[in-house]
Structure 1
């Protein structure tokens, strides 16, 4: 399987610079906030979202060097993403992420909430300084979408009547919105046509949905070591994802287990077994593949280049994580 490092080869140097810049951008006057930020950006991660921004920037600026505003957009994208993870971990009471202690488990909920707020505020300030109103609107919408997605997820806990459409809407808010809107923003900073800007948005939207569906499948099929959190975490917390929603159509007893919130001994093990016996995981794989294919179709609007090929390969990579 192709590694992320290989995929991001066209922007390898850009990503190294980004990591250094991030640590400078989030340096805080208060030592604990600074330590929390340092801990976050030192925790690794694939840097998937800024890499997409940088690849689109290079793929739309074939005859010129990418600008400082493209680089700053990539940094803002990672800051917004990281802020959302910090708040997610507080809401979900998570102790580990990427096999590293979460900010809330290390510094407490109070500092974690403030660290997330601080990162959102910092990203908003740098966003305003890009001096491009359309880009500001696009990325501001993402921050609103994160909150809406989290609220929807909270309201729908253990709700077996949740539709596939509602699941996809929540997945857009929580994952795809950032990738879609930052992809479009990168194109706008390059001066692409409105048609190409919209195709870049659709690429990010479909790729983001594929990525979330794959993550939700891996929550049932992956190991704790690979996931960096206990397998089946979403189901235990009442967050019904696509494999469970498909399985509910085939396994009526699963509804009983979910609605009593796995309150009896052995409930969660039985629920996991029912989901794995159903065609839910296979149907979810098919949906992820369809979304990835749609992403590839949309990115074909760009001229052939190393960066465009990397964006195409990235869609294949997202689905290949399942195998």
Structure 2
């Protein structure tokens, strides 16, 4: 998250100032590096090679996801599949590592390890989709950033893909944004901001938000289904509760 704020130039996260807002870019990057180092140390302290390998592979996947996102900015030709690949890499892979790693360290059999990894995957995908929905539906006071911030940066998320899918004249949306981007590159930044504001307003008024929310619910149902073989105890109930929390998130 520290590095993510540097890449995005974010000054607020959940309404609070980021390290990026308080420190220089170099100091903030080093703080993120320090946290990675501490995480690697804790991973090594498990003395479990499967967990150490899982940790290192997850770091690789996360960075790959960030690179994909940078590469795909303002790429209006990308497909919904690009989005799924990106949010798995950036978000769901981290939840996979947490749930799979915990299962391994708890000595669970292979099928339960797979179940918990599936929980992490589906929970993480839903979490990011809801996050992307809130980017359009939330207000600046709650989110700590203007609505449509991802689109303003040229990052296309699931609500936008559904907006294109449901819009009767898909090309007009793309044409407006591409024209505005051309004008912005030519010295008229207001053109891009106005085009994004119009797209956000249209998206909020349509069915794209609910379509994306239904997809998040589908991922959460799959997450809960993966818990069926686990003992019926407080830990399982807590994991079900997390799924309910994701649906109800407002920030």
Displacement of 1:104: 1.4
Q: Does 1:117 align with 2:45?
A: no
In the alignment, structure 1 segments of 5+ residues that lack a partner are: 1-84
TM-score of the aligned structures, taking structure 1 as reference length: 0.71
Say if 1:160 and 1:245, in contact at 8 Å, map to a contact too.
no
Cα distance change, pair 252–275 in 1 and its aligned pair in 2 (3 A): farther
So what's the TM-score if we normalise by structure 2?
Answer: 0.91
- Aligned partner (choices 242, 245, 251) of residue 317 of structure 1: 245
Report the counterpart of residue 260 of structure 1 in structure 2.
179
Contact 1:214 1:322 in 2 (8 A): no
SS in 2 for 1:159: coil
In the other structure, the counterpart of 2:110 is 194
- Equivalent residue, structure 2, for 1:43: none
Partner of 1:153: 69
Determine if contact 1:158/1:261 at 8 Å carries over to the other structure: no
1:246 aligned to 162, 181, 185, which one?
162
**Deviation of the 1:277 alpha carbon:** 3.2
Query: Distance in 2 between the 1:123 and 1:100 partners?
Result: 24
Task: Report the CA distance shift for 1:307/1:281 in structure 2 as closer, same or farther (over 3 A).
Answer: same
Q: State the Cα deviation string for residues 156-179 of structure 1 (Å, max 9, x = none).
A: 001122211110110011111011
**Corresponding residue of 2:8:** 92
Partner residue in 2 for 1:168: 84
Taking the aligned partners of 1:165 and 1:151, their CA distance within structure 2 comes to 16
Deviation by residue 1:34-55 (Cα, 9 ceiling, x = unmatched) = xxxxxxxxxxxxxxxxxxxxxx
2:233 corresponds, among 295, 298, 305, to 305
How far off is 1:122 after superposition? 1.7
CA RMSD after TM alignment = 1.5
- Give the Cα–Cα distance (whole angstroms) in 2 for the partners of residues 96 and 174 of structure 1: 19
Q: Which residue of 1 aligns with 2:187?
A: none
**1:108 aligns to 2:24 (yes or no):** yes
Unaligned runs of 5+ in 2: 185-190
Residues 106-137 of structure 1, C-alpha deviations (whole Å, 9 max, x = no match): 01101011111111112112211210000111
- Please say which of residues 304-313 and 207-216 is displaced more in the overlay: 304-313
Q: 2:211 aligns with which of 283, 306, 318?
A: 283
Residue 320 of structure 1 and its aligned partner are, at CA, apart by 2.1
Alpha-carbon shift at residue 278 of structure 1 (Å): 3.1
CA distance in 2, matches of 1:218, 1:159: 22
Q: Does 1:184 align with 2:103?
A: no
Moved more, 265-274 or 290-299: 265-274
